[in-house]
Amino acid sequence: MGKPTGFMEYQRELPADREPLERINDWNEFHLHLPEEKLRAQGARCMDCGIPFCHTGALVSGMACGCPINNLIPEWNDLIYRDLWHLALDRLHRTNNFPEFTGRVCPAPCEGSCTLGINEPAVTIKNIEVTIVERGWSEGWIVPAPPTHRTGKKVAVVGSGPAGLSAAAQLNKAGHTVTVFERADLPGGLLMYGIPNMKLDKRQVLLRRIRLLEAEGITFVCNVEVGSTAYPVTKLREEFDAVLLTTGATLPRDLPLEGRPLKGVHFAMEFLTANTRSLLSGGDDFISAKGKEVVIIGGGDTGTDCVGTSLRHGCASVVQLEIMPQSPPVRAEDNPWPEWPKVHKMDYGQEEAAAKYGVDPRVYLTTATKFEGDADGNLAAVHTVQVTWGKNDKGQFIPQQVPGTERVLPAQLVLLAMGFLGPEQPLLEALEVARDPRSNIRAEYGTYATSIPGVFAAGDCRRGQSLVVWAFNEGRGAARECDRYLMGSTELP
């Protein structure tokens, strides 16, 4: 698609981000935009390869190979090259309810599987995606489109994160009356309170789409915890013809070391959620890193977000401990295309820390062994040790401490960003829904039906902690199967 020889004529080009030392002084999004002419040239690099793994959505070696929601990437690359932006937006919305979200926060497995990426830098798919949808908003092409008829069926979606929002949007298109329950004060789940504002603007981007969903007929009920005495599950089953559980995997992985109860040791989501809530409310009830020596335990996107947030608070220093080794600079032999490329990169938080302090904050092959406090019960230091990875007597790879590498890091704030164990259990126990050995809701991928007739599950509460784009995939799929259950057949994709 695009220009047949474009991949030979144009080099990959991304818009520059705002300067790190400038952007850490505010909470505004840090990505800038390419001029239209340059963006069309990037679309021209899409090479009509004949094997577009970019939109396959397959799992290879346990990781996404291509787009899990099967975005029609070659089609809209070609359309923007030909200056057909409105048609490009239509093709984008065929598979993706919220491209302004994935275009900002998705790690872009599509680019990792781009055929051009075998021996050249991949097509700038993610940047093209977000530019198409923002053009749609600015031109007024994205407007409420409520269904032309209602089925008379009522569906409850419990949880308003990415899986819940995509499911609600699809069920509403099918004509069902959809109510989305959210225990927080604003809808969005992970998108609202798990991702910082500088990556996904809450008012200008997230709430813009929420308001459009409301205008299309979806009802959001916030500050309600389904399964509690205020709203028991019996009421849920009585009032709705079907229920879709999209509660996420919000039970954080803890680190039960000596000193864990000290004041100053927090889960990453406590830190990030309170920060975003304070930004939206204008209050000061949040965990501040200002003037503190911060140690973040865990890598990944959440760890990076903690780095970026700490810097914006004005922390004195920041160190990020990663128990895994540093990835290689290029694909290893056992990580071939079209697998997701496990290569070393500097994400936005590390770029900002390096700009401020002159060094990448990450320390690899290192783990914490103890939290040390002062006489008043406040965190004062983190004890660490380096590790190597080797097999135990069962053949499992485990980290082993290296004697003589012990170190003590001064710290007044520790943030635990080590991932999540699964969904919180009280609602699932109240429903008496079957779970798998990992505590996730038992429901087959593709059918999404739980052990209770009329109750479906999708997203992280079913599959475990995963990408936002996989949550969109599952939300759309579960909506399709829920519609089939209610109507006997379905026209949802």
Taking the domains of the chain in order of start, what are their residue ranges? 6-139, 154-250+421-487, 254-418
Q: What's 154-250+421-487's CATH class?
A: alpha beta
Token couple for 180: 């989305």
Question: Is 2 a residue whose pLDDT tops 80?
Answer: no
Tokens describing residue 71: 């975005």
Q: What is the pTM of this model?
A: 0.95
Give the chain's mean pLDDT.
96
List pLDDT tens digits, range 262-285: 999 999 999 999 999 999 999 889
pLDDT at 386: 98
The beta strands (E) that lie in 426-465 are given as: 455-457
Query: Per residue in 385-405, pLDDT tens?
Result: 999 999 998 889 999 999 999
Q: What architecture (CATH level 2) is domain 6-139?
A: Orthogonal Bundle (1.10)
Q: In this model, does residue 249 exceed pLDDT 70?
A: yes
Residues near 21 by Cβ (< 8 Å), separated by ≥ 6?
A: 352, 355, 356
Token pair, residue 370, equals 């103890």
156-186 per-position pLDDT tens digit = 999 999 999 999 999 999 999 999 999 999 9
Determine the Cα–Cα distance for residues 241 and 131; give it in Å rounded to an integer: 39
**What are the phi and psi torsion angles at 150 (to 5°)?**
-115, 140
pLDDT for the residue 283:
87
Nearest residue to 42 via CA among 66, 68, 11? 11
- Lowest-pLDDT choice from 47-61, 99-113, 326-340: 47-61
Among 354, 351, 352, 335, CA closest to 343: 335
CATH number, span 254-418: 3.50.50.60
Question: Which whole number is the average pLDDT over 226-231?
Answer: 94
Establish whether domains 154-250+421-487 and 254-418 are of one fold: yes
Helix (H, G, I), strand (E, B) or coil at 328: coil
For residues 132-154, give the mean pLDDT.
Answer: 98
**316 secondary structure, DSSP code:** S
Which pair of tokens denotes residue 29?
């999004």
pLDDT (0 to 100) of residue 61: 84
pLDDT at residue 450 greater than cutoff 80:
yes
For 430, the enclosing helix (H) or strand (E) is helix 426-431
The pLDDT tens digits for 230-239 are: 999 999 999 9
